[in-house]
Amino acid sequence: MKIKYSLIILLSCLSISCEKYLEVKPDKKLAVPSDNLSNLKLLLDDTNTMNQQVPALGEAASDNIFIRDTQFDPVAQVSITSVNSYLWQSDVFNDKARNDWALPYAVIINTNLVLEGTDKIQPRASEQQLWNTVKGSALLFRSFAFYTLLQEFARPYNVTTASQDPGIVLKLNSDINEVSKRSSVRQCYDKIVSDLTEAVKLLPENVTFRTEPTTAAGYALLARVYLSMNDYSQSLINAEKALQLFPTLMDYNSLSAAATFPFKRYNEEVIFHASLVQDRALAYPYACADEILYNEYRADDLRKSLFFRRNGPADIQFRGSYVGSLTNFGGMASDELYLIAAECASRIGNRAKALDYLNKLAAKRYKQPGFVNFQAGTDQEALDLILKERRKELLFRNLRWGDINRLKAEARYRTTITKVSKGVVYVLPAEKNYVFLIPRKVIEASGMAQN
């Protein structure tokens, strides 16, 4: 694809500016070619910014990962940011300009520029479809960025406290001179739902590249958002709408465990492709899975050999990324939807439907022939099975941290995390809510309240 020189300059300026976004105020505002839909779409096609920088430190902080003591050496592989996240230290970001707060706001500023541009354009009939696609895509990208920020920098959604709990900066315009203020958790989630509801009406069902948003991606993200809000009926409705458009599952029986990376990029299950910020602590061969988690996989569970490569008692390397490389998957895929639908159906009392969704997925994950469908005598037993399978299916996608926090409302599913490093035991008690601190420079520049 040929890109005009002026646009290259623009994108370079955006990349530089976004690293400083919400940290210091630039002297000049950005000039953007907003009178042309093709130019606006090019901003969204910048996959390095829009698709390849999904926050990842929640994964490091979760109970999925194990980091060897040898990796803590300053000259070894793991960044101090990952180490501090892994051990729940306060100074996580160490004043790095590229961090889990700044990178999503780089996406958000792009989408705001695009949305302001589409608002100024009155499309001709021949341009209406492109206009719809550009606006719908911008709304989805922005919603996805807002959602990822909420998972790390805000408390889990609680209907009784969401109006008071501080959320994130709900940035809705491209004016980077605007004073940054945090909205409530409720305001943030309400805006995401509103924007995605509009987006699914605009987005196309089919696209050329999996990095581009679709109708199914919009419904999939709505399902994920409603699940985080504990609105199980709406989450189920949207998961089923997404599955009607995108029901495909890979049969793991047909995959080879001999391959270094058993899953190819843009595989059949990927609805919307995105990847986590790359860090050696989270990537093969350095990313090690927790031993307790590894032992949860049955002998006939194909994920045990496809997701992991064991090189010793404390060296269980994760290589099951749907990116098909060292980088971990951070987008949306159909396997997640089956698990969302199963969980929500179970929670609203439809055990038969819940088990049906669970077994459709499990039939593609366990050795065939021989797999016997999961059974459950009660709704609680069904939910236990579903959450266990969710835990084993969606690891290293930065979904676990959100699950740990949302499930704390139920004593049965609270998780106390224990980690040992260089002989020191670190414990994260189950009953408390945990959020990452906002980067220090952001607080100093804006005056916002710190977590």
Tens of pLDDT along the chain (451 residues) come to 433 323 332 333 344 344 443 443 333 344 455 569 999 999 999 999 999 999 998 998 999 988 877 776 654 556 778 888 889 988 887 667 789 999 999 999 999 999 999 999 999 999 999 999 999 999 999 999 999 999 999 999 999 999 999 999 999 999 988 888 999 999 999 999 999 999 999 999 999 999 999 999 999 999 999 999 999 999 999 999 999 999 999 999 999 999 999 999 999 999 999 999 987 777 777 778 888 899 999 999 999 999 999 887 668 989 999 999 989 999 999 999 999 999 999 999 999 999 999 999 999 999 999 999 999 999 999 999 999 999 999 999 999 999 999 999 999 999 999 998 889 999 999 988 889 999 998 999 899 999 9
Q: Provide the 3-class DSSP secondary structure of residue 316.
A: strand
Bridge partner list, 419: 426
CATH number of the structural domain spanning residue 85? 1.25.40.390
Is 331:275 a contact under the CB 8 Å cutoff?
A: yes
What local confidence, expressed as pLDDT, does residue 308 receive?
A: 94
What local confidence, expressed as pLDDT, does residue 15 receive?
A: 42
Is 64:85 a contact under the CB 8 Å cutoff?
A: no
The answer to whether residue 19 sits within a structural domain is yes
The answer to whether residue 206 sits within a structural domain is yes
What local confidence, expressed as pLDDT, does residue 315 receive?
A: 84
One-letter amino acid at 186 equals: R
The answer to whether residue 298 sits within a structural domain is no
The answer to whether residue 111 sits within a structural domain is yes
| Of 169, 142, 172, the residue nearest 153 (C-alpha) | 169
What local confidence, expressed as pLDDT, does residue 5 receive?
A: 29
One-letter amino acid at 108 equals: I
The answer to whether residue 316 sits within a structural domain is no
Query: Token match 């004593």: residue?
Result: 411
What local confidence, expressed as pLDDT, does residue 270 receive?
A: 98
Rounded Cα–Cα distance for residues 209 and 28 (Å): 35
What local confidence, expressed as pLDDT, does residue 128 receive?
A: 97
What local confidence, expressed as pLDDT, does residue 33 receive?
A: 56
What local confidence, expressed as pLDDT, does residue 95 receive?
A: 66
**Residue 41 CA: distances (Å) to CA of 21, 71, 112, 134, 138:** 22, 41, 12, 6, 9
In this prediction the pTM is 0.91
Is 383:347 a contact under the CB 8 Å cutoff?
A: yes
The answer to whether residue 292 sits within a structural domain is no
The answer to whether residue 197 sits within a structural domain is yes
**Strands, E, within 162-298: which ranges?**
166-169, 182-184, 270-272, 288-289
Rounded Cα–Cα distance for residues 2 and 389 (Å): 45
What local confidence, expressed as pLDDT, does residue 432 receive?
A: 81
Structurally, the chain folds into a number of domains equal to 1
CA 386 to chain centre: 20
Q: Provide the 3-class DSSP secondary structure of residue 300.
A: coil
**111: containing domain:** 5-253+330-446
Q: What share of the chain is helix, strand, coil (3-state, %, to 5)?
A: 45, 10, 45
Angle at 148 between CA 196 and CA 316, to 5 degrees: 130
The answer to whether residue 398 sits within a structural domain is yes
Considering only the C-alpha atoms of the chain, give the largest distance between any 2 of them, rounded to a whole number of Å.
68
What string of DSSP letters covers 129-175?
HHHHHHHHHHHHHHHHHHHHHHHHHSPPP-TTTTTTSEEEE---SS-
